[in-house]
A and B are shown apart, each in its own frame.
Chain A
Amino acid sequence: MDTPLKRTPLYEAHVKAGARMVPFGGWEMPVQYAGIVEEHRAVRGAVGLFDVSHMGEFEVAGPHACVVLQSLTTNDVAALAVGQVQYSVLCYPNGTIVDDLTVYRLADDRFMLTVNAANIDKDWAHVNEYTEHGKDARWTNVAADTGLIAVQGPRAEALVGRLADQDVTKIGYYRFARGRVGGVPALISRTGYTGEDGFELYEKAADTARLWAALLGAGHGDGVQRIGLGARDTLRLEMKYALYGNDIDDTTNALEAGLGWVVKPAKGAFIGREALEKIRAEGVRRKLVGIEMVDKAVARHGYPVLKDGRRVGVVTSGSYGPSVDKYIAMAYVEAPLAGVGTELAVEVRGAAKAARVVKTPFHPSRVKKA
Protein backbone atom coordinates (compact mmCIF):
# COMPACT_ATOMS: atom_id res chain seq x y z
CA MET A 1 0.00 0.00 0.00
CA ASP A 2 2.10 2.88 -1.29
CA THR A 3 -0.87 5.10 -2.17
CA PRO A 4 -0.51 8.29 -0.14
CA LEU A 5 -3.24 8.81 2.44
CA LYS A 6 -5.84 11.40 1.58
CA ARG A 7 -6.58 14.29 3.91
CA THR A 8 -9.83 16.13 4.62
CA PRO A 9 -10.09 19.95 4.62
CA LEU A 10 -9.81 19.76 8.44
CA TYR A 11 -6.48 17.90 8.58
CA GLU A 12 -4.51 20.94 9.80
CA ALA A 13 -7.20 21.76 12.37
CA HIS A 14 -7.00 18.21 13.76
CA VAL A 15 -3.23 18.22 14.04
CA LYS A 16 -3.28 21.66 15.67
CA ALA A 17 -5.86 20.41 18.19
CA GLY A 18 -3.55 17.53 19.17
CA ALA A 19 -5.52 14.73 17.53
CA ARG A 20 -3.94 11.32 17.10
CA MET A 21 -4.07 10.72 13.36
CA VAL A 22 -4.40 7.19 11.93
CA PRO A 23 -4.95 5.64 8.50
CA PHE A 24 -8.60 4.74 7.91
CA GLY A 25 -9.97 3.56 4.57
CA GLY A 26 -7.22 5.33 2.66
CA TRP A 27 -7.56 8.54 4.70
CA GLU A 28 -5.50 10.09 7.46
CA MET A 29 -8.14 10.67 10.13
CA PRO A 30 -8.32 11.65 13.82
CA VAL A 31 -8.94 8.56 15.98
CA GLN A 32 -9.07 10.57 19.20
CA TYR A 33 -8.44 13.97 20.75
CA ALA A 34 -9.10 13.99 24.52
CA GLY A 35 -9.67 10.21 24.74
CA ILE A 36 -12.26 7.84 23.34
CA VAL A 37 -14.29 7.35 26.52
CA GLU A 38 -14.41 11.08 27.33
CA GLU A 39 -15.43 11.91 23.76
CA HIS A 40 -18.08 9.19 23.79
CA ARG A 41 -19.59 10.67 26.97
CA ALA A 42 -19.48 14.20 25.55
CA VAL A 43 -21.72 13.09 22.65
CA ARG A 44 -24.18 11.27 24.93
CA GLY A 45 -24.24 14.13 27.45
CA ALA A 46 -23.64 17.35 25.51
CA VAL A 47 -22.54 17.69 21.88
CA GLY A 48 -19.67 16.52 19.70
CA LEU A 49 -18.27 17.48 16.31
CA PHE A 50 -17.10 14.79 13.89
CA ASP A 51 -15.14 15.37 10.72
CA VAL A 52 -16.70 12.90 8.28
CA SER A 53 -15.52 14.71 5.17
CA HIS A 54 -13.83 11.49 4.06
CA MET A 55 -17.24 10.06 3.16
CA GLY A 56 -18.16 10.17 -0.52
CA GLU A 57 -21.01 12.04 -2.22
CA PHE A 58 -22.37 11.32 -5.68
CA GLU A 59 -25.14 13.17 -7.44
CA VAL A 60 -27.41 11.72 -10.08
CA ALA A 61 -29.68 13.99 -12.09
CA GLY A 62 -32.03 13.67 -15.03
CA PRO A 63 -35.52 12.49 -15.94
CA HIS A 64 -34.53 8.88 -15.22
CA ALA A 65 -32.60 9.51 -12.00
CA CYS A 66 -35.32 7.98 -9.82
CA VAL A 67 -35.69 4.94 -12.08
CA VAL A 68 -31.94 4.38 -12.10
CA LEU A 69 -31.74 4.54 -8.30
CA GLN A 70 -34.69 2.18 -7.99
CA SER A 71 -32.73 -0.41 -9.94
CA LEU A 72 -29.49 0.17 -8.01
CA THR A 73 -30.66 0.38 -4.38
CA THR A 74 -32.82 -1.91 -2.25
CA ASN A 75 -35.07 0.71 -0.64
CA ASP A 76 -38.02 2.40 -2.38
CA VAL A 77 -36.68 5.67 -3.80
CA ALA A 78 -40.10 6.59 -5.23
CA ALA A 79 -41.43 6.85 -1.67
CA LEU A 80 -38.87 9.57 -0.94
CA ALA A 81 -40.18 13.17 -0.98
CA VAL A 82 -37.99 16.12 -1.91
CA GLY A 83 -36.25 17.13 1.33
CA GLN A 84 -36.19 13.58 2.67
CA VAL A 85 -33.33 11.16 3.32
CA GLN A 86 -33.38 7.37 3.10
CA TYR A 87 -31.02 4.71 4.41
CA SER A 88 -30.40 2.07 1.75
CA VAL A 89 -28.09 -0.60 0.42
CA LEU A 90 -26.32 -1.27 -2.88
CA CYS A 91 -26.30 -5.01 -3.53
CA TYR A 92 -24.62 -7.37 -5.93
CA PRO A 93 -26.89 -9.73 -7.90
CA ASN A 94 -26.34 -12.41 -5.20
CA GLY A 95 -27.72 -10.12 -2.46
CA THR A 96 -24.38 -9.38 -0.79
CA ILE A 97 -23.49 -5.78 -0.05
CA VAL A 98 -21.50 -3.33 -2.19
CA ASP A 99 -22.09 -0.57 0.36
CA ASP A 100 -24.66 0.95 2.67
CA LEU A 101 -25.58 4.56 2.02
CA THR A 102 -28.02 7.39 2.47
CA VAL A 103 -30.05 8.76 -0.45
CA TYR A 104 -31.12 12.43 -0.46
CA ARG A 105 -33.89 13.62 -2.77
CA LEU A 106 -32.64 17.10 -3.72
CA ALA A 107 -35.36 17.65 -6.37
CA ASP A 108 -37.82 15.48 -8.27
CA ASP A 109 -35.13 14.48 -10.73
CA ARG A 110 -31.97 15.01 -8.64
CA PHE A 111 -30.51 12.91 -5.81
CA MET A 112 -27.37 12.79 -3.67
CA LEU A 113 -25.89 9.54 -2.35
CA THR A 114 -23.55 9.48 0.65
CA VAL A 115 -21.26 6.44 0.64
CA ASN A 116 -18.49 5.05 2.82
CA ALA A 117 -15.04 6.57 2.34
CA ALA A 118 -13.24 3.29 1.69
CA ASN A 119 -15.82 2.38 -0.98
CA ILE A 120 -15.91 5.58 -3.06
CA ASP A 121 -14.02 4.18 -6.08
CA LYS A 122 -15.78 0.81 -5.95
CA ASP A 123 -19.22 2.41 -5.62
CA TRP A 124 -18.51 4.89 -8.40
CA ALA A 125 -17.59 2.05 -10.73
CA HIS A 126 -20.64 0.05 -9.60
CA VAL A 127 -23.24 2.78 -10.14
CA ASN A 128 -21.80 3.63 -13.54
CA GLU A 129 -21.58 0.00 -14.62
CA TYR A 130 -25.16 -0.74 -13.59
CA THR A 131 -26.79 2.42 -14.93
CA GLU A 132 -28.62 1.10 -17.97
CA HIS A 133 -27.57 2.52 -21.33
CA GLY A 134 -30.08 4.91 -22.81
CA LYS A 135 -31.26 6.15 -19.41
CA ASP A 136 -31.22 9.93 -19.08
CA ALA A 137 -29.40 10.21 -15.75
CA ARG A 138 -26.04 11.94 -15.26
CA TRP A 139 -23.74 10.89 -12.45
CA THR A 140 -21.38 13.40 -10.82
CA ASN A 141 -18.80 12.48 -8.19
CA VAL A 142 -18.75 15.49 -5.87
CA ALA A 143 -16.84 13.78 -3.04
CA ALA A 144 -13.66 15.84 -3.41
CA ASP A 145 -15.56 19.15 -3.37
CA THR A 146 -17.72 18.29 -0.38
CA GLY A 147 -16.98 18.63 3.33
CA LEU A 148 -19.13 16.92 5.98
CA ILE A 149 -19.36 17.72 9.69
CA ALA A 150 -21.59 15.73 12.03
CA VAL A 151 -22.93 17.58 15.08
CA GLN A 152 -24.34 15.01 17.49
CA GLY A 153 -25.71 15.02 21.01
CA PRO A 154 -28.53 16.44 23.13
CA ARG A 155 -27.13 19.99 22.69
CA ALA A 156 -26.76 19.67 18.89
CA GLU A 157 -30.08 21.29 18.09
CA ALA A 158 -29.32 24.32 20.26
CA LEU A 159 -25.82 24.68 18.80
CA VAL A 160 -26.76 24.37 15.13
CA GLY A 161 -29.88 26.49 15.75
CA ARG A 162 -27.77 29.32 17.13
CA LEU A 163 -25.70 29.47 13.93
CA ALA A 164 -28.37 28.68 11.34
CA ASP A 165 -30.35 31.15 9.24
CA GLN A 166 -33.53 29.19 9.92
CA ASP A 167 -35.47 27.31 12.58
CA VAL A 168 -33.73 23.91 12.57
CA THR A 169 -36.23 22.48 15.09
CA LYS A 170 -38.55 22.21 12.07
CA ILE A 171 -36.25 19.75 10.30
CA GLY A 172 -37.56 16.27 11.13
CA TYR A 173 -35.55 13.06 11.48
CA TYR A 174 -34.15 11.92 8.12
CA ARG A 175 -35.16 15.26 6.58
CA PHE A 176 -32.92 18.05 5.34
CA ALA A 177 -33.03 21.73 4.43
CA ARG A 178 -30.69 24.08 2.60
CA GLY A 179 -29.48 27.20 4.31
CA ARG A 180 -26.52 28.81 6.00
CA VAL A 181 -24.81 27.76 9.19
CA GLY A 182 -22.29 30.23 10.59
CA GLY A 183 -22.58 32.07 7.28
CA VAL A 184 -21.56 28.96 5.32
CA PRO A 185 -23.99 27.60 2.70
CA ALA A 186 -24.87 24.08 3.84
CA LEU A 187 -27.23 21.18 3.43
CA ILE A 188 -28.56 20.66 6.96
CA SER A 189 -29.50 17.01 7.43
CA ARG A 190 -31.09 15.61 10.57
CA THR A 191 -29.22 12.34 10.46
CA GLY A 192 -26.31 10.72 12.25
CA TYR A 193 -24.51 7.59 13.36
CA THR A 194 -24.55 7.89 17.15
CA GLY A 195 -28.13 7.28 18.34
CA GLU A 196 -28.28 10.87 19.59
CA ASP A 197 -30.22 13.74 18.08
CA GLY A 198 -28.11 15.81 15.71
CA PHE A 199 -27.24 16.97 12.26
CA GLU A 200 -24.88 16.26 9.43
CA LEU A 201 -23.80 19.43 7.65
CA TYR A 202 -22.67 19.19 4.02
CA GLU A 203 -20.78 22.18 2.65
CA LYS A 204 -18.12 23.08 0.10
CA ALA A 205 -14.74 21.59 0.99
CA ALA A 206 -13.29 25.11 1.03
CA ASP A 207 -15.86 26.24 3.65
CA THR A 208 -15.45 23.26 5.98
CA ALA A 209 -12.72 24.68 8.23
CA ARG A 210 -14.68 27.91 8.68
CA LEU A 211 -17.81 26.02 9.72
CA TRP A 212 -15.81 23.75 12.07
CA ALA A 213 -14.33 26.81 13.80
CA ALA A 214 -17.74 28.50 14.02
CA LEU A 215 -19.28 25.41 15.66
CA LEU A 216 -16.43 25.09 18.15
CA GLY A 217 -16.69 28.77 19.06
CA ALA A 218 -20.48 28.87 19.37
CA GLY A 219 -20.61 25.55 21.23
CA HIS A 220 -18.23 26.47 24.01
CA GLY A 221 -21.06 26.97 26.52
CA ASP A 222 -22.65 23.68 25.43
CA GLY A 223 -19.50 21.76 26.27
CA VAL A 224 -18.80 20.96 22.63
CA GLN A 225 -15.92 18.56 21.97
CA ARG A 226 -14.12 17.27 18.90
CA ILE A 227 -14.82 13.55 18.44
CA GLY A 228 -12.54 11.07 16.70
CA LEU A 229 -13.24 7.84 14.85
CA GLY A 230 -12.65 5.82 18.04
CA ALA A 231 -15.71 7.25 19.80
CA ARG A 232 -17.67 7.24 16.53
CA ASP A 233 -17.15 3.47 16.57
CA THR A 234 -18.20 2.90 20.22
CA LEU A 235 -21.23 5.19 19.77
CA ARG A 236 -22.48 3.34 16.70
CA LEU A 237 -21.73 -0.04 18.28
CA GLU A 238 -24.00 0.78 21.26
CA MET A 239 -26.77 1.39 18.69
CA LYS A 240 -25.92 -1.79 16.71
CA TYR A 241 -25.48 0.32 13.58
CA ALA A 242 -23.57 -1.75 11.03
CA LEU A 243 -20.13 -0.60 9.88
CA TYR A 244 -19.13 -1.58 6.35
CA GLY A 245 -15.97 -3.67 6.41
CA ASN A 246 -16.73 -4.94 9.92
CA ASP A 247 -20.33 -6.11 10.13
CA ILE A 248 -21.36 -6.00 6.49
CA ASP A 249 -19.41 -6.55 3.27
CA ASP A 250 -19.50 -8.44 -0.01
CA THR A 251 -19.80 -11.77 1.84
CA THR A 252 -22.84 -10.84 3.92
CA ASN A 253 -26.35 -10.39 2.55
CA ALA A 254 -28.67 -7.55 3.50
CA LEU A 255 -31.21 -9.83 5.21
CA GLU A 256 -28.87 -11.68 7.56
CA ALA A 257 -27.37 -8.28 8.43
CA GLY A 258 -30.76 -7.22 9.76
CA LEU A 259 -31.29 -4.69 6.97
CA GLY A 260 -34.51 -6.31 5.70
CA TRP A 261 -36.36 -3.12 6.63
CA VAL A 262 -34.68 -1.35 3.69
CA VAL A 263 -35.18 -4.22 1.21
CA LYS A 264 -38.40 -3.51 -0.72
CA PRO A 265 -39.07 -6.10 -3.45
CA ALA A 266 -42.61 -4.74 -3.94
CA LYS A 267 -41.17 -1.64 -5.63
CA GLY A 268 -40.03 -3.64 -8.68
CA ALA A 269 -36.73 -4.85 -10.10
CA PHE A 270 -33.40 -4.03 -8.47
CA ILE A 271 -29.97 -5.62 -8.36
CA GLY A 272 -30.07 -8.48 -5.89
CA ARG A 273 -33.86 -8.70 -5.72
CA GLU A 274 -34.24 -12.32 -6.90
CA ALA A 275 -31.48 -13.54 -4.60
CA LEU A 276 -32.86 -11.66 -1.59
CA GLU A 277 -36.42 -12.87 -2.26
CA LYS A 278 -35.15 -16.44 -2.35
CA ILE A 279 -33.22 -15.96 0.89
CA ARG A 280 -36.25 -14.36 2.53
CA ALA A 281 -38.49 -17.26 1.44
CA GLU A 282 -36.05 -19.92 2.65
CA GLY A 283 -35.10 -18.04 5.81
CA VAL A 284 -31.64 -16.67 6.63
CA ARG A 285 -29.04 -19.17 7.86
CA ARG A 286 -27.38 -16.73 10.25
CA LYS A 287 -28.28 -13.43 11.85
CA LEU A 288 -26.37 -10.41 13.04
CA VAL A 289 -27.13 -10.15 16.76
CA GLY A 290 -26.07 -8.06 19.72
CA ILE A 291 -24.21 -9.92 22.43
CA GLU A 292 -23.12 -8.96 25.88
CA MET A 293 -20.17 -10.58 27.62
CA VAL A 294 -21.10 -12.41 30.82
CA ASP A 295 -17.48 -13.23 31.62
CA LYS A 296 -15.12 -10.30 31.60
CA ALA A 297 -13.47 -10.13 28.16
CA VAL A 298 -13.42 -7.95 25.07
CA ALA A 299 -14.88 -9.72 22.03
CA ARG A 300 -13.26 -8.41 18.85
CA HIS A 301 -13.76 -8.64 15.10
CA GLY A 302 -13.02 -12.16 13.89
CA TYR A 303 -13.25 -13.96 17.26
CA PRO A 304 -15.21 -17.25 17.01
CA VAL A 305 -18.62 -17.58 18.68
CA LEU A 306 -19.25 -20.97 20.32
CA LYS A 307 -22.21 -22.94 21.62
CA ASP A 308 -21.30 -25.91 23.83
CA GLY A 309 -17.82 -25.87 22.30
CA ARG A 310 -19.06 -25.89 18.70
CA ARG A 311 -18.30 -22.94 16.43
CA VAL A 312 -21.62 -21.26 15.56
CA GLY A 313 -20.62 -17.80 14.43
CA VAL A 314 -18.17 -14.96 14.41
CA VAL A 315 -17.82 -11.58 16.10
CA THR A 316 -17.92 -8.64 13.67
CA SER A 317 -17.50 -5.69 16.08
CA GLY A 318 -16.82 -5.53 19.79
CA SER A 319 -15.65 -3.18 22.45
CA TYR A 320 -16.27 -1.80 25.87
CA GLY A 321 -19.47 0.26 25.64
CA PRO A 322 -18.91 3.35 27.79
CA SER A 323 -22.61 4.25 28.16
CA VAL A 324 -23.77 0.72 28.95
CA ASP A 325 -20.63 -0.01 31.00
CA LYS A 326 -20.40 -3.52 29.57
CA TYR A 327 -18.33 -5.41 27.04
CA ILE A 328 -20.61 -5.64 24.01
CA ALA A 329 -20.34 -7.00 20.50
CA MET A 330 -22.11 -7.72 17.25
CA ALA A 331 -21.83 -11.21 15.80
CA TYR A 332 -23.27 -13.44 13.13
CA VAL A 333 -24.71 -16.57 14.72
CA GLU A 334 -26.69 -19.49 13.33
CA ALA A 335 -30.32 -18.40 13.04
CA PRO A 336 -31.74 -20.84 15.65
CA LEU A 337 -29.30 -19.35 18.20
CA ALA A 338 -30.19 -15.72 17.47
CA GLY A 339 -32.95 -15.37 20.05
CA VAL A 340 -32.55 -12.88 22.91
CA GLY A 341 -31.27 -14.69 25.99
CA THR A 342 -29.41 -17.46 24.14
CA GLU A 343 -26.30 -18.44 26.10
CA LEU A 344 -23.18 -18.48 23.94
CA ALA A 345 -19.44 -18.12 24.37
CA VAL A 346 -16.80 -16.09 22.58
CA GLU A 347 -13.37 -17.59 22.10
CA VAL A 348 -10.87 -15.06 23.41
CA ARG A 349 -7.20 -16.05 23.11
CA GLY A 350 -8.11 -19.73 23.22
CA ALA A 351 -10.50 -19.50 26.18
CA ALA A 352 -14.31 -19.70 25.95
CA LYS A 353 -15.80 -16.64 27.65
CA ALA A 354 -19.53 -16.72 28.47
CA ALA A 355 -21.78 -14.34 26.55
CA ARG A 356 -25.46 -13.99 25.77
CA VAL A 357 -27.66 -12.59 23.02
CA VAL A 358 -29.33 -9.37 24.19
CA LYS A 359 -31.92 -6.93 22.91
CA THR A 360 -30.57 -4.08 20.82
CA PRO A 361 -29.82 -1.24 20.65
CA PHE A 362 -27.61 -1.78 23.68
CA HIS A 363 -28.22 1.85 24.68
CA PRO A 364 -31.60 3.55 24.08
CA SER A 365 -31.76 5.63 20.90
CA ARG A 366 -32.53 9.30 21.40
CA VAL A 367 -32.82 10.37 17.78
CA LYS A 368 -35.61 12.88 17.22
CA LYS A 369 -38.44 10.98 15.57
CA ALA A 370 -40.88 13.79 14.83
Chain B
Amino acid sequence: MSNIPKDLKYTREHEWAKAEGDRVRVGITAYAQEQLGDVVFVELPKVGTKVTAKKPFGVVESVKAVSDLFAPVSGEVVEVNGELPNKPETVNQDPYGKGWMIVVKPSSKADWDQLLTAQQYEEFLKQGGH
Protein backbone atom coordinates (compact mmCIF):
# COMPACT_ATOMS: atom_id res chain seq x y z
CA MET B 1 0.00 0.00 0.00
CA SER B 2 1.22 3.48 -0.86
CA ASN B 3 2.37 5.94 1.75
CA ILE B 4 -0.62 7.92 3.15
CA PRO B 5 0.52 10.48 5.75
CA LYS B 6 -1.94 10.69 8.67
CA ASP B 7 -1.78 14.49 9.01
CA LEU B 8 -3.10 15.19 5.49
CA LYS B 9 -6.56 15.21 3.92
CA TYR B 10 -7.33 13.71 0.53
CA THR B 11 -9.57 13.92 -2.54
CA ARG B 12 -11.05 11.04 -4.52
CA GLU B 13 -8.95 12.34 -7.44
CA HIS B 14 -5.78 11.60 -5.43
CA GLU B 15 -4.71 15.07 -4.36
CA TRP B 16 -3.53 15.70 -0.82
CA ALA B 17 -4.24 18.85 1.20
CA LYS B 18 -2.27 20.09 4.18
CA ALA B 19 -3.51 22.73 6.60
CA GLU B 20 -0.85 25.41 7.22
CA GLY B 21 -2.48 28.05 9.41
CA ASP B 22 -5.14 29.70 7.26
CA ARG B 23 -3.69 28.28 4.04
CA VAL B 24 -3.80 24.86 2.35
CA ARG B 25 -0.87 23.26 0.55
CA VAL B 26 -1.80 20.89 -2.32
CA GLY B 27 -0.08 18.07 -4.19
CA ILE B 28 -0.77 14.59 -5.55
CA THR B 29 -0.50 11.40 -3.54
CA ALA B 30 2.15 8.68 -3.70
CA TYR B 31 -0.52 6.41 -5.19
CA ALA B 32 -1.28 8.97 -7.92
CA GLN B 33 2.35 9.35 -8.98
CA GLU B 34 2.80 5.56 -9.01
CA GLN B 35 -0.22 5.19 -11.25
CA LEU B 36 0.94 7.97 -13.58
CA GLY B 37 4.49 6.71 -13.92
CA ASP B 38 7.26 9.13 -14.87
CA VAL B 39 5.88 12.66 -14.70
CA VAL B 40 7.28 14.68 -17.61
CA PHE B 41 5.19 17.85 -17.55
CA VAL B 42 3.35 19.93 -14.95
CA GLU B 43 1.17 22.95 -15.73
CA LEU B 44 0.15 25.08 -12.75
CA PRO B 45 -1.95 28.25 -12.37
CA LYS B 46 -0.45 31.65 -11.62
CA VAL B 47 -0.49 33.25 -8.18
CA GLY B 48 -3.78 35.12 -7.81
CA THR B 49 -5.83 32.58 -9.78
CA LYS B 50 -9.15 31.59 -8.22
CA VAL B 51 -9.62 27.83 -7.96
CA THR B 52 -12.81 25.92 -7.22
CA ALA B 53 -13.11 22.77 -5.14
CA LYS B 54 -13.48 19.61 -7.27
CA LYS B 55 -12.60 21.56 -10.45
CA PRO B 56 -9.31 21.29 -12.40
CA PHE B 57 -6.59 23.80 -11.49
CA GLY B 58 -3.76 22.36 -13.57
CA VAL B 59 -2.43 19.39 -15.50
CA VAL B 60 0.12 16.70 -14.87
CA GLU B 61 1.38 14.56 -17.74
CA SER B 62 3.30 11.32 -17.68
CA VAL B 63 4.86 9.73 -20.73
CA LYS B 64 1.60 7.95 -21.47
CA ALA B 65 -1.21 10.12 -20.08
CA VAL B 66 -2.62 13.57 -19.37
CA SER B 67 -4.38 14.05 -16.02
CA ASP B 68 -6.20 17.03 -14.57
CA LEU B 69 -5.31 18.26 -11.12
CA PHE B 70 -8.37 18.94 -8.96
CA ALA B 71 -8.55 21.60 -6.28
CA PRO B 72 -9.37 20.19 -2.83
CA VAL B 73 -10.73 23.56 -1.69
CA SER B 74 -12.00 26.78 -3.29
CA GLY B 75 -9.96 29.93 -2.89
CA GLU B 76 -7.09 31.96 -4.25
CA VAL B 77 -3.70 30.58 -5.26
CA VAL B 78 -1.11 32.37 -3.08
CA GLU B 79 1.96 30.29 -3.91
CA VAL B 80 3.02 28.05 -6.81
CA ASN B 81 5.87 25.55 -6.93
CA GLY B 82 7.95 27.21 -9.65
CA GLU B 83 10.49 24.36 -9.62
CA LEU B 84 8.09 21.75 -10.98
CA PRO B 85 7.86 22.81 -14.65
CA ASN B 86 11.65 22.41 -14.92
CA LYS B 87 11.89 19.34 -12.68
CA PRO B 88 8.61 17.45 -13.12
CA GLU B 89 10.26 14.23 -11.89
CA THR B 90 10.17 15.78 -8.39
CA VAL B 91 6.50 14.74 -8.28
CA ASN B 92 7.59 11.08 -8.46
CA GLN B 93 10.53 11.47 -6.13
CA ASP B 94 8.88 13.39 -3.31
CA PRO B 95 5.10 13.70 -3.83
CA TYR B 96 4.36 14.90 -0.28
CA GLY B 97 7.41 17.19 0.02
CA LYS B 98 9.29 18.99 -2.76
CA GLY B 99 6.65 17.80 -5.24
CA TRP B 100 3.94 20.09 -3.79
CA MET B 101 2.03 22.10 -6.39
CA ILE B 102 0.13 25.09 -5.06
CA VAL B 103 -0.86 26.83 -1.82
CA VAL B 104 -4.45 28.06 -1.64
CA LYS B 105 -6.04 30.62 0.66
CA PRO B 106 -9.49 29.03 1.09
CA SER B 107 -12.59 31.18 0.69
CA SER B 108 -14.52 29.12 3.25
CA LYS B 109 -14.01 26.32 5.74
CA ALA B 110 -16.77 24.12 4.31
CA ASP B 111 -14.65 22.41 1.62
CA TRP B 112 -12.11 21.18 4.15
CA ASP B 113 -14.68 19.09 6.00
CA GLN B 114 -15.67 17.37 2.74
CA LEU B 115 -12.16 15.97 2.23
CA LEU B 116 -11.24 12.38 3.07
CA THR B 117 -9.18 11.57 6.14
CA ALA B 118 -6.09 9.39 5.70
CA GLN B 119 -8.10 6.41 6.92
CA GLN B 120 -10.95 7.10 4.50
CA TYR B 121 -8.51 7.57 1.62
CA GLU B 122 -6.85 4.25 2.47
CA GLU B 123 -10.27 2.55 2.41
CA PHE B 124 -11.00 4.23 -0.92
CA LEU B 125 -7.75 2.88 -2.39
CA LYS B 126 -8.51 -0.61 -1.08
CA GLN B 127 -11.78 -0.48 -3.01
CA GLY B 128 -9.92 0.30 -6.22
CA GLY B 129 -9.34 4.04 -5.98
CA HIS B 130 -11.92 5.21 -8.51
Does B63 interact with chain A (Cβ within 8 Å)?
A: yes
Per-residue A-contact encoding for B34-50, CB less than 8 Å = 1, 0 else: 00011011010000000
Interface residues of B in 6-53 (CB under 8 A from A): 37-38, 40-41, 43
Q: Interface digits, A214-237 against B, CB 8 Å rule (1 contact, 0 not)?
A: 000000000000000010011000
Judge whether A297 is part of the interface by a CB distance below 8 angstroms.
yes
* Docked CA distance A300–B63 (Å): 10
Q: How many residues of B contact A (CB 8 A)?
A: 13
Closest chain B residue, CB of each to CB of A231: B63
Q: Are B37 and A36 interface neighbours, CB within 8 A?
A: yes
Residues of B near A20 (CB, < 8 A) are 37
- Which residues of chain B come closer than 8 Å to A320, judged between CB atoms? 40-41, 63
For A233, list chain B residues within 8 Å (CB): 63
* Contact pattern, B 48-78, Cβ under 8 Å of A = 1, otherwise 0: 0000000000010111101000000000000
CB of A234 within 8 A of CB of B41, answer no
Within 8 A of B (CB), among A171-215: none
Interface size on A, residues (CB 8 A): 18
Residues of A within 8 A of B62 (CB): 36
Q: Which residues of A contact B41 (CB under 8 A)?
A: 296-298, 320, 327
Known contacts A37-B63, A296-B85, A298-B66; decide if A230 and B40 are in contact (CB<8 Å).
Answer: no
Cβ–Cβ contact A31 & B85, under 8 A: no
Contact between B61 and A298 (Cβ–Cβ < 8 Å)? yes
Complex interface residues of chain A between 21 and 36 (CB less than 8 A to chain B): 31-32, 35-36
| Minimum distance in angstroms from A29 CB to a CB of chain B | 13
The answer for the CA separation of A327 and B43 in the assembled complex, in Å, is: 14
- Decide: A230 and B66 in contact? CB cutoff 8 A: no
Alpha-carbon distance A78/B66, docked complex (angstroms) = 46
On chain B, the residues within 8 Å of A234 by CB distance are: 63
Known contacts A31-B64, A230-B64, A300-B66; A36 and B38 CB within 8 A of each other: yes
Q: Which residues from B are CB-within-8-Å of A170?
A: none
Instruction: Say whether B64 contacts A36, CB under 8 Å.
Output: yes
What residues of chain B lie closer than 8 Å to A35, measured between beta carbons?
37-38
| Cα-based distance from A226 to B91 in the complex (angstroms) | 24
Q: Are B63 and A36 in contact (CB under 8 A)?
A: yes
Contact with B along A24-57 (1 / 0, CB 8 A): 0000000110011110000000000000000000
List the A residue with the shortest CB-CB distance to B34.
A20
Separation in Å of the A216 CB from the closest CB of chain B? Answer: 22
Complex Cα–Cα for A36 and B34 (A):
12
The answer to whether A319 and B40 touch across the interface, beta carbons within 8 angstroms, is yes
A298 touching B64 by the CB < 8 A rule?
Answer: no
Chain B residue numbers with a CB within 8 Å of A37 are: 38, 40, 63, 89
On chain B, the residues within 8 Å of A122 by CB distance are: none
A349 vs B61: C-alpha distance in the bound complex, in angstroms? 13
Whole-angstrom CA separation of A230 from B59 in the bound complex: 20
The chain A residue with its CB closest to the CB of B62 is A36
Question: Are the C-beta atoms of A319 and B85 separated by less than 8 Å?
Answer: no
Question: Which of B38, B59, B85, B89 is the one whose CB lies under 8 Å from A349?
Answer: B59
- Complex Cα–Cα for A148 and B63 (A): 25
B41, B63, B89: most-surrounded residue (chain A CB, <10 A): B63
Residues in A neighbouring B43, C-beta threshold 8 A:
297
> Are the CB atoms of A230 and B37 closer together than 8 Å?
yes
Is the Cβ of B40 less than 8 Å from the Cβ of A32?
A: no
Partner of A319, one of B59, B63, B89: B63
Q: Are A298 and B40 in contact (CB under 8 A)?
A: yes
A65 to chain B, nearest CB (A): 40
| Interchain CA distance A297-B40 in the complex, whole Å | 10
Residues of B within 8 A of A349 (CB): 59
Q: Is the CB of B63 within 8 A of A230?
A: yes
Docked Cα-Cα span, A32 to B43, in Å, equals 24
| Chain B residue, CB-CB nearest to A38 | B38
Task: Say how far A131's CB is from chain B's closest CB, in angstroms.
Answer: 39
Least distance between A44 CB and chain B CB atoms (Å): 15
A234 to B62, CA, bound (A): 12
**A298→B41 CA distance, assembly (Å):** 7
CB B38 to nearest CB in A, in angstroms, measures: 4
Q: How far is the CB of A20 from chain B (nearest CB, A)?
A: 8
* C-alpha gap A320/B62 in the complex (Å): 9
Contact with A along B73-113 (1 / 0, CB 8 A): 00000000000010001000000000000000000000000
17 sampled A-B residue pairs with Cβ under 8 A: A20-B37, A31-B64, A35-B37, A36-B37, A36-B38, A36-B64, A38-B38, A230-B63, A234-B63, A296-B41, A297-B43, A298-B61, A300-B66, A319-B63, A320-B40, A327-B40, A349-B59
Q: Which residues of B contact A (CB under 8 A)?
A: 37-38, 40-41, 43, 59, 61-64, 66, 85, 89
